[in-house]
Amino acid sequence: MRFLCVNCSHIYDEALWEETDGIEPGTGIDEISEDIHCPSCDGSFEDFSPIEDEVIYADDPHNLSHVEREHMPRIMHLDDQKVEACVGEEEEMHSSSEEHRVTAMYLVDEHGHIVEEVFIMAFEDPIAEFDISGLDDFEIRASCNMHGLWWTGLINVDQYHEEHDEDGDEES
């Protein structure tokens, strides 16, 4: 399991801990003594929040439940070079309090590999811009510290343009 330091965005991976701070690799976060601090910002380990690895997506994209509407990454702008996405609805994005917020947004390729990740700090709007040049298909994922990891599903750039550019162009 991975944990995010809410102070500085450092990621603690239980499976990959370095020995440098006197912690054996594979040590669970609960087993770390209180006098060891975040290697990046020196904050307390109590400020680490879990990063859920299970991917969640809406059963029916046209009929979202409240929690789905709140968490589904949404495309705000897309062109051949970049995509800008937010989490939740543009008028009402996901909460960004310290207790409950989106901690990171990811650009993922068609093979499920993370191409780019953007960390979102408390009180920042959950918005990220990614470089998609060279990708025909991509996904946006968003990780909420309470509700897990959510994704758009695979988006084809050309198809998106066909569906969203004025009236489409169905004759050709």
Q: Which residues bind Fe ion (CB under 5 A)?
A: 144, 146-147
**What does the block give as tokens for 76?**
């705000």
Q: Which is nearer to Fe ion, 4 or 144 (CB)?
A: 144
Residues 6 or more apart in contact with residue 129 via CB below 8 angstroms: 82, 83, 84, 85, 118
Nearest distance from C-beta of residue 128 to Fe ion, angstroms: 16
**How many CB atoms neighbour CB 34 within 10 A?**
8
- Please classify residue 160 by burial: count the beta carbons closer than 10 Å to its beta carbon, then call 0-12 exposed, 13-18 middle and 19+ buried: middle
Q: Cα(104)–Cα(102) distance, rounded to whole angstroms?
A: 6
Nearest distance from C-beta of residue 106 to Fe ion, angstroms: 16
Q: Which is nearer to Fe ion, 122 or 157 (CB)?
A: 122
Nearest distance from C-beta of residue 97 to Fe ion, angstroms: 10
Nearest distance from C-beta of residue 133 to Fe ion, angstroms: 31
Q: Which is nearer to Fe ion, 32 or 72 (CB)?
A: 72
Q: Which is nearer to Fe ion, 68 or 139 (CB)?
A: 68
